[in-house]
Amino acid sequence: MEESKLRELLNSLSIEEKIGQLIQLSGEFFSAKDISVGPQKKLGITKDAVELCGSVLNVVGAKETHRIQDAYLKGKKHPIPLIFMSDIVYGFRTIYPIPLGLGATWNPDLIQKAYRNTAEEAYASGNQVTFAPMVDLARDARWGRSLESTGEDPYLNSRFAASMVKGLQEDLPKYGLVSCVKHFAAYGAVESGREYNATDMSENRLRQYYLPSYKAAVDAGAKMVMSSFNTLNGVPVTGNKWLLKDILRKEWNFDGVIISDYAAIAELVAHGFAKDNQEASKLALEATVDIDMKSPCYANELKPLVTEGKLDESKIDNAVWRVLKLKNDLGLFEDPYRGSSEELEKKLIMTPEKRELAKKVSTEAMVLLKNENNMLPLDKNKKVALIGPYENEHELLGLWAVHGDRKATVTIEDGFKKYLNSDNLFTSKGTDILRNKSIFRSMGLNSEQIDHVVSSKEIEEKNNEDAIETARKADIIVFAAGEHTIESGEAGSRGNLTLPDNQLELLDKLSKLNKPIILICISGRPLILTDVEPKVSAIIEAWFPGTEGGNALADIIFGKSNPSGRLSMSFPYAVGQLPIYYSQFSTGRSVKTSTHSSRFMSKYIDIPNDPLYSFGYGLSYSKVKYSNLRLSSKELEMTDNLIASIDVTNMSDRNTTEVVQMYIQDKFASVVQPVKSLKGFERVTLNPNETKTVNFEINKKMLSFYGLDNKLTVEPGEFNIFIGPNSDVEDFATFNLK
């Protein structure tokens, strides 16, 4: 529709119709032919409000979305199509590894393809918007939503944020999905890693470390933004004018749609920020939150605010305009189904090509953390006992794969069977994934449902015994262990980050058999593996690896694939270190450089400062040598560039992919800078014994930081450049910026 016609449409709408465009309700409201009375009553909104609501949350499927759209449009005075929005966070039906695994690929180009495929599947299925990517910087593994983040580094996160948005929106307007980047902003820094908690930080820190990934998503063209649940320096983001209007809309020129997070407008009251829903609605709308997701606020309060003269109707018009424009840009007025159909679903969803890409992503996401005596890859002629609760488990998708097809998941056993015959493969579950009933109860499971997932004491003992007997038959034990799906993701904050106790107990028993143990770790966050590590010969961090997880793992374990994943979030040594990240400040008393006597340094007296496994860390089956770090010049003019180079040599007789990482340290600055900051990386594929030179161009932008005035600045002086395999790299070269 032409823009002038769209304006005419806006001008012809009643206030109720306008407000309808600003309300989002979930599928339960649309399931019956008539409006469902139950959910409507529960939410406390009128039947009319439901009938005029302009967008739908988390309903998928061509058939269902067509049905709802048809019923909705019927008899409407102004037939403005509904828009369907869903959480399609790391795959629609074909599921990729969780984003923390995607971060470990260090391969934004590949992830762009994965998100394009995801958009294609979801588009066919009648969706127009996804609440993705989630780009919150995550440095505290207690926070369950670390699962949804690509990790702890602003540069790496920004690269992924941009690639994900591009992948989703590549085929717009006709195909593809609109990307709604979330959760703006600094949600990953909630105090104590506790879900829905408060965030407090200086503006300088916010701008330098926390905002860049959202900015990268907006610059890549994300058409929507979701405001986050947390307060930021005392002001809940959903009513935070400074963040939403001044920074997002004015500074970054974002003119798309802002949606609240689930029920967050009403929660402004619970925060103690608004005295009632009416004030909450005014604060949110004036902060330019356009759509109210699942709260009664806009539906009940906007009209009285206008009629009582407390809110200028033009503010509602502006919000409605942005929503109408989005619908129009997607062509919904011409085709409310946007070409989605059941035939298209059959053609585009879970195709062999899409599964193949998921397998590639899953392979690249896995991180080899330990490989003592080159235990891996495994010899196919060895007898292997595959033990542990994840041995033949289909739930390898993780908590946010809400539309994923669990039955279609390749289990670890399925994958192993492609390499081993029944004479060489013995399997036993050994124990449940999780036996802590209170965690299941907190998920709303009743006693009967819990009894289905937690075995009786007798069965547990039998399972344990069976595992030990099975392990005795083999040369090597592969222990498939990990967190339960419900232990991470939204509302999955944890205070203890070890494997569940029952799994640790089984591992203890297995380790007494004196056979080599390979640990496959399934998790939605960096777990603390400090006590486990000495008991096993090898560790593969597999995350929740997605639909093709079992195949990808088997290819790595049996050596068809050489691991190339590198951690994008540190694995702590102990919970007491959290939050932990590589790009710390040196402090006045660094353990590395201070001359104070050893107690009076910046450290713990009972645990080390360093994580168990650092950011950027990961092994492969090849040894790669780094040599000859050099700079094209020792002096750099402000207007110039400089080249930093290094030679990397594959010392092994198999192909390998090395993630060459470049870090910079600004040695002295008016605002203290981290000991190292990632500024570039390259995935380099090397043939056996091959050497390649990797070059990084150093420019002024890479050397900039937020000054005391919170504006980007560059200061002359000395900089160190580190190039190596992970953030522990010590070799550096120095140049002077003039």
Residues lying near ligand BGC in the complex (CB under 6 A) are found at 58, 87, 131, 182, 261-262, 490
Q: Residue 58 or residue 318: which is nearer to ligand BGC going by CB?
A: 58
DSSP structure string for 207-276: IIIISHHHHHHHHTT--EEEE-SSEETTEEGGG-HIIIIIIIIIIS---SEEE--TTTTTHHHHTTSSSS
Q: Residue 25 or residue 517: which is nearer to ligand BGC going by CB?
A: 25
Q: Residue 261 or residue 393: which is nearer to ligand BGC going by CB?
A: 261
Q: Residue 490 or residue 647: which is nearer to ligand BGC going by CB?
A: 490
Q: Active site includes 261?
A: yes
Q: Residue 131 or residue 479: which is nearer to ligand BGC going by CB?
A: 131
How far apart CA 358 and CA 408 sit, in angstroms, is 13
| Minimum distance from residue 148 beta carbon to ligand BGC (Å) | 7
How far apart CA 3 and CA 295 sit, in angstroms, is 31
How far apart CA 31 and CA 28 sit, in angstroms, is 5
Residue linked to tokens 């990397």: 648
Kindly state the helix (H) or strand (E) to which residue 542 belongs, with its residue range.
none
Phi-psi region of 584 (alpha: psi -120 to 50; beta: other; left: phi over 0): beta
Q: What is the DSSP letter of 410?
A: P
How far apart CA 333 and CA 114 sit, in angstroms, is 29
Q: Residue 169 or residue 551: which is nearer to ligand BGC going by CB?
A: 169
Q: Is 553 in contact with 415 (CB distance < 8 Å)?
A: yes
| Minimum distance from residue 87 beta carbon to ligand BGC (Å) | 5
How far apart CA 399 and CA 484 sit, in angstroms, is 9
How far apart CA 86 and CA 180 sit, in angstroms, is 10
Residues forming a β-bridge with 644: 631, 696
Angle among Cα 236, 237, 240 to the nearest 5 degrees reads: 90
How far apart CA 82 and CA 382 sit, in angstroms, is 58
Q: Residue 182 or residue 271: which is nearer to ligand BGC going by CB?
A: 182
| Minimum distance from residue 45 beta carbon to ligand BGC (Å) | 18
Radius of gyration of the chain from its Cα atoms, rounded to whole angstroms: 27
| Minimum distance from residue 182 beta carbon to ligand BGC (Å) | 6
| Minimum distance from residue 357 beta carbon to ligand BGC (Å) | 24
* Residues in the chain, overall count: 738
Angle among Cα 375, 377, 381 to the nearest 5 degrees reads: 95
What is the CB neighbour count within 10 angstroms for residue 383?
13
| Minimum distance from residue 24 beta carbon to ligand BGC (Å) | 9
Q: Residue 58 or residue 652: which is nearer to ligand BGC going by CB?
A: 58
List for the chain the helix, strand, coil content (%; round to 5).
35, 20, 45
| Minimum distance from residue 263 beta carbon to ligand BGC (Å) | 8
Q: Is 11 exposed, middle or buried (0-12, 13-18, 19+ CB in 10 A)?
A: exposed
| Minimum distance from residue 491 beta carbon to ligand BGC (Å) | 8
The one catalytic residue in 87, 153, 261, 432 is 261
**Max intra-chain CA distance, the chain:** 81
- List residues with catalytic annotation: 261
